């Protein structure tokens, strides 16, 4: 693969059409391989359609008894995609969710793009998944009509039966499956009208809930194979460090330790290569952990050993204080700044963040003469297949990637470095291996969310609105993971909330500065939108304050009349242009529901923020209250979301609730720092997460419309931090413009 | 290596393990009971919560040698028929997102209700604050606990 991820760029119409065409291609392909159920099951005993006789495409299989299975090709990490996709297919098959078995696809190009990132699974596959079900239904109906010698228009599939009302006859889906299989696959099956939906757009319980609540759901480290051994890796302390000496005598003396294996250090570009270090293989994970502690390792720390977060922050600030590379110029900012009038100038900082999914990276791998099979919690199963094949020097056709449930992903598990590690160790020891990263490995060796510094300046006109805006953003790019010479934010990263600022200012200058990466930089839930939304919302508030205006009214004025905005050539053809009316609507909705216009009791402050990301519109109102002891509590958050057509409304609501908690964790506590190149934090004591007692009442308000489906997993996070910071301002307890706010 | 007699989910088992091996790894790697999860290894996140004589306990820091006379319950043995009121309530409120922490959440909640059948918000916070959910399902967990406790929870 090219290595460069492009998960976040906007889908233009041409691509949209291509996705539609690709679905046609999928529809024409026969089912192959062996998808597996409930995360994964090595014995594959749960496969529903055990002998499918009708497989019109890679997603639907029907057996002679009428059992229907649906294969989901995207990864489940809590966003509910297995349920949502099953709903899309079942809707068009006229089946209930309890009438289908959901299987999980292995990593295979025949499924189309399987990368589960960019909040785009439903967005890009809403139509193709429905087409997969609709094609199957049409073929079953045609087969039944032929069986009876009646017109297709007279038959109707429902609940696993095909009915011919006139003659009061019916046949099961299974009874006509073989006949349907002989029919041509319709390339443009007719889709249901929105008003006829029975599943889509309603609340549904997740299909894996029972497995989860009974300890039966399987994650990355949960498979047990005969003869399996357990491994853990003492990674290089700094990216690019080299092992210069090793004394493993004490390790090998520990009961249960079977082997110690040197893992070569990743050289730039680090890509998704194993980071390097020393693996300890043992009869239990605990023995492997103990073995690691007993290793005596000497490192040459290499070029990144000079990385100090404090000095680095100062360097970012110094870069942002001076002219950077201009990426957009509208009007004449310098001339506007030269005029007399009110000026506003602020800077914004956000540190490195770690993903810290509850399940640390883990994988099971087996390598033998037939090839390699892995079971792993991965967001990108095809990429995993490529990376594992490359690590083993094996042809991809010999590598099978079974996708388990993910114990959280947030972008971390798009990077299959840990799966390649498991495969390398399995090959070396000749036994199945279960690799577990400790929490400290996860937090110290992440693909971090980028640290950033932004500089913003505005001059206000006589009415108090910005006449000119200068915005500089400086952060090490995700691109550095793929190309060490990439020293500035890419167009894709700038498109995440920076170059598509929705507030109208007649003169604008946007600049991007350079920054070197000293750790692996990756994408984390909402990516650069996190810091761009923070800066822009905070700055709008700062201008509103200077102008003496209400932050909500100020935003609505700056959004102007409802209209579509175009920021780039690609936007011109896009069906997803940013609509200022939709952003204004979520702002008003969140504000109304939160009681923005009502008189606030003493000691209560509210902050508001809105952000457009992953093509969706989100606004937050955060309410904080002064406590008797002088501290503050986040009492309530109102979230308004417009993501177009929804599939499972309850999982959309759940994503917004979760996004508030995720946003509070990063706004209040999240900070990764390094000294001597080494990350200082390692576990939940020094990299804390929000807990139940700190969780506010969360009220989610969903906009019900029939617009194109857009992102859900990520867009709920960005507005939280700026809204919270504003609420603290409003209650007279400003905590500034550097995250985390650390007020509790 | 030593042999330890343990009672897990009402079954007597004899396991061979190092005396200092935490119960979590005995469950997962020796007995293949993988419903109990590893999250932090330092009793900071609660993903590994099991019951020791009915008390919610972090199994990641509890050596096997310390529990030989105890009655151990894991998520797999939380209820006989798989119908603990909390398991039902968790489903009704569609609590889990990724689900990884939920075994620990359920075990903490079950121990709470066993000891305090009608917990108020403060009691729920006190019992559940040791369990991290990175997906942020806390609001639903709270509602599900109240519902199971017969107090009605707003979904």
More confident of the two residues A34 and A454: A454
Domain at B21, CATH number: 3.10.20.30
pLDDT, position A36: 43
Please answer yes or no on whether B137 and A657 come within 8 Å at the CB atom: yes
Q: How confident is the model at residue A16 (pLDDT cuts 50, 70, 90)?
A: very low
Please answer yes or no on whether B138 and A692 come within 8 Å at the CB atom: yes
CB A539 within 8 A of CB A531: no
Residues of A in contact with B146 (CB under 8 A): none
Of the three residues B10, B44, B75, the one that is the final residue of a domain is B75
How far, in Å, CA of A261 to CA of A252, rounded? 11
Q: How close A658 comes to chain B (CA, Å)? A: 4
Question: Which candidate, B25, B2, B27, B37, places its Cα nearest to that of B108?
Answer: B37
Is residue B154 assigned to a domain? no
The arithmetic mean of pLDDT across residues A511-535, rounded, is 98
Residues B6 and B69 both lie in one domain = yes
**CA dist B9 → A233, A432, B78, B84 (Å):** 33, 28, 8, 14
Indicate the angle between helix axes B138-148 and B85-92, nearest 10 degrees.
130
CB A411 within 8 A of CB A481: no
Residues B93 and B128 both lie in one domain = yes
Q: Which of B138, B147, B154, B155 to mutate to test the interface with A (most CBs of A within 10 A)?
A: B138
Is residue B35 assigned to a domain? yes
Domain at B95, CATH number: 1.10.150.120
Residues B99 and B139 both lie in one domain = yes
Residues B70 and B107 both lie in one domain = no
Number of structural domains, chain B? 2
Residues B108 and B70 both lie in one domain = no
Residues B6 and B65 both lie in one domain = yes
Is residue B155 assigned to a domain? no
Domain hosting residue B11, numbered range: 2-75
Please answer yes or no on whether A255 and B18 come within 8 Å at the CB atom: yes
Contact residues, A window 254-273, toward B, CB-based 8 Å cutoff: 255-256
Of the three residues B26, B54, B75, the one that is the final residue of a domain is B75
Is residue B153 assigned to a domain? no
Of the three residues B75, B107, B133, the one that is the final residue of a domain is B75
Q: Which domains does chain A have, with CATH numbers?
A: 13-213 (3.30.365.10), 229-302+361-436 (3.30.365.10), 309-353+448-730 (3.30.365.10)
For residue A156, report the phi and psi dihedrals to the nearest 5 degrees.
-150, 130
How far, in Å, CA of B75 to CA of A634, rounded? 33
Question: Which candidate, A86, A111, A114, A91, places its Cα nearest to that of A101?
Answer: A86
pLDDT per residue over A51-95, tens digit each?
A: 899 999 999 999 999 999 999 999 999 999 999 999 999 999 999
Q: Closest residue of A to B44, CA-based?
A: A684
- Written as six digits, the tokens of B11 are 């079954």
In this complex, which of A358, A406, A434 lies closest to B39 when CB atoms are compared? A358
Q: Which helix (H) or strand (E) holds A620?
A: strand A616-626
Of the given ranges (A173-182, A389-398, A535-544, A724-733), which has the lowest mean pLDDT? A724-733
State chain A's mean pLDDT as an integer. 93
Residues B119 and B70 both lie in one domain = no
Please answer yes or no on whether A285 and B28 come within 8 Å at the CB atom: yes
pLDDT, position B154: 45
More confident of the two residues A35 and A268: A268
pLDDT, position A50: 61
| Whether the complex's predicted ipTM surpasses the cut of 0.95 | yes
Residues B91 and B69 both lie in one domain = no
How far, in Å, CA of A387 to CA of A570, rounded? 31
Residues B12 and B41 both lie in one domain = yes
Please answer yes or no on whether B99 and A208 come within 8 Å at the CB atom: yes
Q: Closest residue of B to A224, CA-based?
A: B32
Residues B15 and B56 both lie in one domain = yes
How far, in Å, CA of B87 to CA of A218, rounded? 18
Residues B104 and B46 both lie in one domain = no
pLDDT, position B151: 66
């Amino acid at each position: 693969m090219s290595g460069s991820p492009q998960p976040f760029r906007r889908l233009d119409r041409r691509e949209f059409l291509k996705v539609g065409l690709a679905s046609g291609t999928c529809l024409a392909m026969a089912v192959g391989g062996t998808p597996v159920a409930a995360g994964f099951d090595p014995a594959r005993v749960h496969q529903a359609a055990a002998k499918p006789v009708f497989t019109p495409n890679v997603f639907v299989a029907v057996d002679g008894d009428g059992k229907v299975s649906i294969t989901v090709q995207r990864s489940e990490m809590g966003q509910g995609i297995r349920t949502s996709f099953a709903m899309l297919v079942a809707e068009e098959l006229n089946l209930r969710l309890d009438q289908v078995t959901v299987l999980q696809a292995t990593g295979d190009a025949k499924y189309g793009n399987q990368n589960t990132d960019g909040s785009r699974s439903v967005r890009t596959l809403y139509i193709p998944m429905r087409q997969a079900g609709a094609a199957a239904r049409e073929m079953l109906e045609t087969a039944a009509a032929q069986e009876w010698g009646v017109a297709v228009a007279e038959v109707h599939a429902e609940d696993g039966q095909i009915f011919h009302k006139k003659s009061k006859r019916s046949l099961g889906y299974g009874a006509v499956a073989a006949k349907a299989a002989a029919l041509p696959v319709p390339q443009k099956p007719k889709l249901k009208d929105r008003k006829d939906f029975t599943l889509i757009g309603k609340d549904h319980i997740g299909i894996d809930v029972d497995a989860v609540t009974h300890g039966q759901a399987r994650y990355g480290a949960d498979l047990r194979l005969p003869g399996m051994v357990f491994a853990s890796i003492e990674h290089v302390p700094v990216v690019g460090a080299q092992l210069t000496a090793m004394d493993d005598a004490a390790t090998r003396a520990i009961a249960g330790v079977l082997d110690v294996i040197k893992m070569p250090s990743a050289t730039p570009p680090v890509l998704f290569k194993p980071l390097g270090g020393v693996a300890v293989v043992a009869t239990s994970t605990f023995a492997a952990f103990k073995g690691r502690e007993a290793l005596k390792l000497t490192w040459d720390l290499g070029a990144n050993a000079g990385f100090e977060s404090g000095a680095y922050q100062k360097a970012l600030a110094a870069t942002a204080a001076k002219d950077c590379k201009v990426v957009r110029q509208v009007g004449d900012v310098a001339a506007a700044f030269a005029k007399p009038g009110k000026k506003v100038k602020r800077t914004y900082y956000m540190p490195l963040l770690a993903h810290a999914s509850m399940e640390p990276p883990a994988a099971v791998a087996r390598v033998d003469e037939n090839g390699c099979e892995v079971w792993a919690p991965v967001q990108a199963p095809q990429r995993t297949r490529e990376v594992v094949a490359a690590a083993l020097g094996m042809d991809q056709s010999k590598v099978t990637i079974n996708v388990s449930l993910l114990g959280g992903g947030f972008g971390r598990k798009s990077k299959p470095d840990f799966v390649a590690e498991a495969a390398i160790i399995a090959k070396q020891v000749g036994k199945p291996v279960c690799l577990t990263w400790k929490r400290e490995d996860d937090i110290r060796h992440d693909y971090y969310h980028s640290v950033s510094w932004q500089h913003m300046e505005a001059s206000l006109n006589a009415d108090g609105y910005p006449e000119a805006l200068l915005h500089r953003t400086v952060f090490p790019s995700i691109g550095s993971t793929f190309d060490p010479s990439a020293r500035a934010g890419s167009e894709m990263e700038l498109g995440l909330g920076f170059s598509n600022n929705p507030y109208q200012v007649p003169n604008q200058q946007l600049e991007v500065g350079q920054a070197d990466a000293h750790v692996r930089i990756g994408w984390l839930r909402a990516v650069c939108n996190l810091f761009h939304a923070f800066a822009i919302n905070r700055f709008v508030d700062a201008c509103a304050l200077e102008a003496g205006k209400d932050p909500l009214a100020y935003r609505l004025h700056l959004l102007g009349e409802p209209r579509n905005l175009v920021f780039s050539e690609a936007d011109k053809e896009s069906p997803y242009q940013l609509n200022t009316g939709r952003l204004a609507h979520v702002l008003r909705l969140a504000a109304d529901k939160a009681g923005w216009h009502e008189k606030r009791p003493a000691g209560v402050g509210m902050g508001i923020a809105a952000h457009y990301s992953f093509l969706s519109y989100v606004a937050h109102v955060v309410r904080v209250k002064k406590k008797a002891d002088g501290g503050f509590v986040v009492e309530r958050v109102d979230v308004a979301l417009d993501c177009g057509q929804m599939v499972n409304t309850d999982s959309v609501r759940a994503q917004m609730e979760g996004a508030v908690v995720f946003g509070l964790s990063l706004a209040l506590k999240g900070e990764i720092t390094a000294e001597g190149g080494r990350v200082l934090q390692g576990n939940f004591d020094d990299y804390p997460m929000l807990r139940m007692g700190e969780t506010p009442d969360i009220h989610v308000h969903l906009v019900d419309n029939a617009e194109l489906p857009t992102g859900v997993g990520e867009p709920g996070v960005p507005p939280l931090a700026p809204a919270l910071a504003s609420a603290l301002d409003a209650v007279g307890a400003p905590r500034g413009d550097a995250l985390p706010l650390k007020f509790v | 290596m030593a042999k330890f007699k343990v009672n897990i989910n009402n079954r007597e088992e004899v396991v061979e393990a190092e005396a200092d091996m935490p119960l979590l790894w005995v469950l997962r790697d020796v007995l293949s009971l993988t419903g109990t999860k590893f999250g932090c290894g330092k009793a900071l996140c609660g993903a590994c919560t099991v019951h020791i004589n009915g008390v919610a306990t972090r199994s990641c820091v509890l050596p096997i040698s310390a529990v030989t006379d105890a009655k151990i319950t894991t998520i797999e043995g939380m209820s006989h028929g798989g119908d603990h009121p909390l398991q039902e309530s968790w489903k009704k409120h569609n609590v889990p997102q990724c689900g990884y922490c939920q075994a620990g959440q359920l075990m903490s909640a079950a121990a709470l209700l066993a000891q305090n059948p009608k917990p108020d918000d403060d009691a729920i916070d006190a019992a559940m604050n040791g369990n991290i959910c990175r997906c942020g399902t806390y609001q639903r967990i709270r509602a599900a606990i109240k519902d199971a406790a017969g107090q009605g929870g707003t979904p």
